[in-house]
Structures are given as structure tokens and as C-alpha cells.
Structure 1
């Protein structure tokens, strides 16, 4: 196999002009990722419905397949789009005890996909003696036939599909050192949004090892957009937390309300178009529907919660897949700041009364004064 065939899904549903823009972005992301992995290749070119990485190692297909916007990637051999050429190529494949032929054809030809499957299948059976099995063969030989060229492959690496990073509005992603928020950040990247990570350093409750967990999680996310200069906002919450510790019931709601107020200011400064959190409905006391209504009122910016209806097991499985679960599992000296009896359902009126016990605007400003922008 000498090239990598890259397929995209959601991009193909867009209008011609939007599709062209997104394909261009995806091509750049593929080049970025290959350079990030120190992979050698000649070029990344596009043909209708596909991108081709010319003269790349087959092993690089796995890295390419990870990218948002990629539906799947396969190491391929480029052929002439003639049945005799497909037969000759199939002869070079090591065939197991059973095999299957599968063809996807696009364009104008004097043969159909079924013609390829039948003729190449008969040819392979004759020279190999293997049995045909179209359910679970030991060897798949697949062809992607385009107008003038065809591609043969035997393995496919599935991708996340979606949109390439940078194709949609940029967002502020609130990322902690835990399991949920890096997964939420990834999910919006998969829909095309570039992210600016924001970390709330909950001193004096959290120690520096918790900050290290955050940075380790962001390192894992960088591979989906490795060419950009990754910078994060680190917000020192020491003064906010010291003020809030005198409040019992409702403390975590105020804490989150202030976080959203700070995030709004950062989003305005960076010209971001929304805020992303790892909140899941009813997972914590601050994440009931009524409490999320209270905390969301801190900002007019849209708050995106891509994990809203997911269970913890599903989120954890995705974190393992992304490689961020290991970072979240690093021992941390952080102690919870939640009160013994947290407010699971606080009315809007009660929350408004609670807010009057502190000067929210002043605490937001103090936190912003103690915020630094740091290269990750």
C-alpha cells in the first residue's frame, strides 16, 4: 500500500461552497497531524468525496483517522479503474482461508460494483482456493473505484466524522483535571470548534498537582489541532473560594455562577462565541435542571453541554479512548469544597437572595486580575 485514502461523512452533506471550505480545512489538519507525528509524505490532494495522502506509511492511517472530520482512513494501492487492473492487484494480497470482495464505485464505467465483486471474486477463488465468505471473512479485499483511478485496501480505521477543527465558531472550554470536561472539549472540537482552555485553579483547596492534571489533559487534546499555538487561561480562585467558604447551602451554585461570569469576560476578550462545560444532567447537585438554570444566568453567552444526557460509564469509556482518563486518575491533593448539605434544587428567588450575600461583580473582577494566559 502506497497511499492513504481519507473519507469524510458530515462534510459531504454540505453545499458545494461550504464543503469546499471544509475540505480545505480538513486537508490542512491532516498535513498538521502528519507533521506532528513526524510522518513523511508527498502531498495531500482531494478528489470528489475523498482526500488522498500520497506516498505515506500505512501505519500513519491510524493517526489520520483520529482527526475530527475524518469518517475513516485506509492504506491503499492506487490502480487504473479497469477490472483487469483490480484482478492483478488482488493477486498480490495474502489470502486467508476465506475472503470477501466489496466494491464502492462512483463515476462512469462500463461495469458495476457487482461486476467487480463477481469477476474479481471468481479470480481470487481460482488462484487461492479460498472460500467466499461475505459475513466474516479472514481476508477482505475492498475497492474504491473513482472515475479514472481505483484504490484497493484490506483494512479501515474508523474516525469520528464530524467537522474539522476550525470549521465552526471558537469556544471557551472550561477544563478541569477530571474525567468529564476534556471529553466535552473533544466533543465540540469534533463539531468543528476550536477551543481556548480555561482552568479554574481552586486554591487554597487544590494543590499544584491538580493544575498539572489539567495541563496533561490539554496535551492529549492538542493532537486534534497540533499546528496552532495552544494557550490557556488559568484563573486563580483563591480570593473567591475564601469568600465563599462562609456560605453553606448554595455555595457550589455561587461558585459555578462566578465561573461562568469569568468565562464570559474571557470569551469576550478572545472573541469566542460560547462556553463549553462537562456538565451532565443530575450528575452533581449543581447540575440539576433548576440549578443549571440559576448558574447559566451569569452570562448571555450560549453554554454548550455536549455530555448533558450521558452516563458516567459512557463518559469514562470515551475518556479512556481519548487517553485523558489516565490524566484524571493522577493522585491529587485537591479536597472538595462542597458543603455537607448541598442545594440540589434551589428556586430562582432563593438563588437571587443568596447572590446578595456577596459582591459577585467584585469577585469576578478579582479573579480576572489573578488570571494568567499561559502557553501549554
Structure 2
């Protein structure tokens, strides 16, 4: 089996392009191996990546729905590998007209399509034919053998021919990928993840941009149930499908810190202080994990803590940049994306989150940062409590 893979953004990386291509090749092979296909090889060629899968049995590359051939598994893996614009199952022959014609006719089996088109592309110009000449010659050959009408505007079947590095690659179906950047090319970040809808989607977008994400979940067990922890683990199992590496999950027990905050902070500011402490903790783990930023699922104006004023007060506590990929998203946008990536069904289960513990009746919507800092000066024991709690986290690989 041979798969021709095209990317988009990587082509713009100039002298750094080989680095991005090599990482994408590595990720593809790792994800294929995770899916049980360990006999694959990836090769960089001009503007493309080729994946070859060998096996004892011949592969029917025309049938991507056949699990017996392995094509179905390859299709599933490449469809969720970031960095790929589209890919195609095809065949490979010498870049010589007669060889291309003999291979092209194999793509046309009875019952024939009502019309067809040949679309050729050369990556280099040092061949004895132009792209148009190749299209005409191969098209005439196929039509002569099959009598199928040619339709250049709306064909029922298109045969693509790519001529590159003295080889010709032929295929019919382009299968769309997720685009983005290869996992691992954009550094590391800490994502504050809950069992809700927003933060898994925000994390997915950061993974899509090539970031390695370590997940930090705050829970209030034993004061409330473990449901949020279990749901978060399940969410990471889903996000793991988009990552060639295991995902790291840090479970931070937040209940005792909340109990410390409640009698010392006006109730209307309670959520703001919870979130500020989360930023302080995330900053500590950024240092430990050598991450360079914090990712949250906050969306502007969605809840009381997510007004511009409150987001400013929360972000002020962070020692590292805070990224909010969903800041401009409507809730409906987030729900649609959660459904698309597979996290929706888990996120709506409604696990008990830490912020539901000691929830204020009327949270502040426009707090002033000087007021918050003034109250914070009276929380002398907070730093020690955070440090002690950091020593009691649980860490999992998902």
C-alpha cells in the first residue's frame, strides 16, 4: 500500500520545512504503530510525504472500507493526524508515459462511471511531456479502452497523476485531513482541564497547533465525589486519539484550599480567588514541566468569572502567558466542535467540579484588581498551603 500525503502550512516554513516534515513523519508512524500497523515507512519527497505499508497479503487500495486490508485503519489514523491537508491511497510507477497509461486503466473497472477526467501535475519541469500533454494522452488511452465520455467540468470520476522525482503516483480519492501543525513542533503548555465542554475543546485546538499539552485538573475530593476525575480521564482518552504520545494528567486536590478561602474572602470574589490560585498552581507546574504557557477554556462573557474585568484579575496571578483559544466562541460553536472531536457525550455527563463547592450566590462580574490584591495580602498562609498541596498531586499517563 502507498499513501500520498499533502500538507499546507508546512510548505510555508522555508528553511525549517525539513524539521516540520520529519516531525510529521515521526507522528504518522507512531500513530500507525499505536493502531497496530508497525510495518509502515514514511518518506519525504518534494512537497509530499509517502507512507508505504508492507504486508504478507496484497492490499486492495481501492477499498478503504476493508478492514482486512488495513486501509481502513490507515485512513482512520491519518484522518486524525494533525499537519495533513489531505491524503490518498494510490499506486506508484515510473514517470514514463506508457507505464502511467497501463496503470491508469486499472482504476477503471466495470460498471464504468458516466464520465471521467485526468488531472496531472508535475513538480519538476524536466520531463519530456507537460502536464496538459500527459492528461491528453492518458485520457485518450483510457477513453479508447473504455469508451467513457470525458467531462472536464463535472466528471463522475477524476484520476489524479502526480509526477515527482522520476516517479508517478496515481489515485482517485482525496481524503481530507485536519490540517494544523504536527504534534510537538510548538513547545509545551499546561491546560487547565475540567470535565465540562469548554476546556477539552480548547486543549484540542492547542494540540492542533502543534503543542504538547500537560493537563492539570483541580478536584475537591473527598468533599465531593470523584466523578469529575473519572470524566476527565475519559476525555483524555478521547484527546489521546489526536496525539502520537501519551498525555500527562495531574490531579490537584483543591478542597482544602477552598476551605481556607471561604472564611477569608467575600463570597462574591470567591470564584475569582479560586481561579487566581489555579493560575498560581499552573505557573508552578509550567516551571516543573518546562512549559511556556497556560491554556484555559474561558470564553468571553460566557459566565460571571469570564468578563473582561474578571479575566484580567484572574490572568494577573499567572507567571506565564495565558492562552484562551475559545475567547471569541459562542457556546453553540463550542458544542459543535465538541461533537465533532468526540468529547461532547462525556462532557455533558455533569461530573461534580471543584468550583461547585462553596459556590457563591451572587458572584462579582466586574471586580477591580486593586481590591483583589488588597484582600490577597491577608492570605498569609496560602503560599505554604499551595506548596504542601503540590506535593500531594496524583499523576497519570493516558
For residues 363 and 294 of structure 1, what CA distance do their matches in structure 2 show? Answer: 21
Deviation at residue 206 of structure 1 after TM alignment: 4.5
Contact 1:250 1:343 in 2 (8 A): yes
Partners of 2:363 and 2:154 in 1: CA distance: 53
Q: TM-score, normalised by structure 1?
A: 0.91
The worse-fitting range, judged by mean Cα deviation, of 53-62 and 149-158 is: 53-62
How many pairs does the alignment contain?
Answer: 373
State the partner residue of 1:240.
257
Offset of 1:136 from its aligned partner? 4.5
Give 1:196-275 correspondences, 5 Å limit. Answer: 196-203=214-221, 206-226=224-244, 228-246=245-263, 247-275=266-294
**Which residue of structure 2 aligns with residue 47 of structure 1?**
45
Aligned to 1:310: 329
- Matched residue, 1:374: 396
Unaligned residue ranges in structure 1 (runs of 5+): none
Match of 2:119 in 1: 102
Match of 2:76 among 48, 54, 62: 62
Please report how far the alpha carbon of residue 49 of structure 1 lies from its aligned counterpart in structure 2 after TM superposition.
Answer: 1.3
CA shift, 1:162, in A, is: 2.4
What is the rounded CA distance, in whole Å, between the counterparts of 2:241 and 2:378 in structure 1? 44
Deviation at 1:367, TM superposition (A): 3.3
How far the C-alpha of 1:344 sits from its partner, in A, is 1.7
- 8 A Cα contact 1:32 1:225, kept in partner: no
Aligned-residue Cα RMSD (Å) equals 2.2
The corresponding residue for 2:66 is none
For residues 141-197 of structure 1, give each alpha carbon's deviation from its aligned partner in whole angstroms, at most 9, with x where no partner exists: 112221311111111221222221111211111111112111211211222211111
User: In the alignment, which of 25, 32, 38 is matched to residue 36 of structure 2?
Assistant: 38
TM-score under structure 2 normalisation? 0.87
Indicate the SS of the match to 1:71.
strand
Provide the rounded CA distance (Å) in 2 between the counterparts of 1:8 and 1:307.
25
**Match of residue 330 from structure 1:** 349
CA deviations on 1:304-347 (whole Å, 9 max, x unpaired) are 11222122222222222221112213343458344232222212
Distance (whole Å) between structure 2 residues aligned to residue 205 and residue 115 of structure 1: 74
List gaps (5 residues or longer) in structure 2.
55-69
After TM superposition, the structure 1 = structure 2 runs for residues 1-376 of structure 1, keeping only pairs within 5 Å, are 2-16=1-15, 18-55=16-53, 57-59=70-72, 60-93=74-107, 94=109, 95-107=112-124, 108-203=126-221, 206-226=224-244, 228-246=245-263, 247-334=266-353, 336-337=356-357, 338-356=359-377, 358-359=379-380, 360-376=382-398
Cα distance in structure 2, aligned partners of 1:261 and 1:220: 28
Deviation at 1:229, TM superposition (A): 4.6
* Pair 84,292 (structure 1): closer, same or farther in 2 beyond 3 Å: same
Counterpart contact for 2:29–2:40, Cα < 8 Å: no
State whether residues 196 and 350 of structure 2, in contact with CA within 8 Å, keep that contact through their aligned partners in structure 1: no
Bigger shift: 260-269 or 63-72? 63-72
Whether the 8 Å contact between 2:195 and 2:350 is mirrored in structure 1 is no
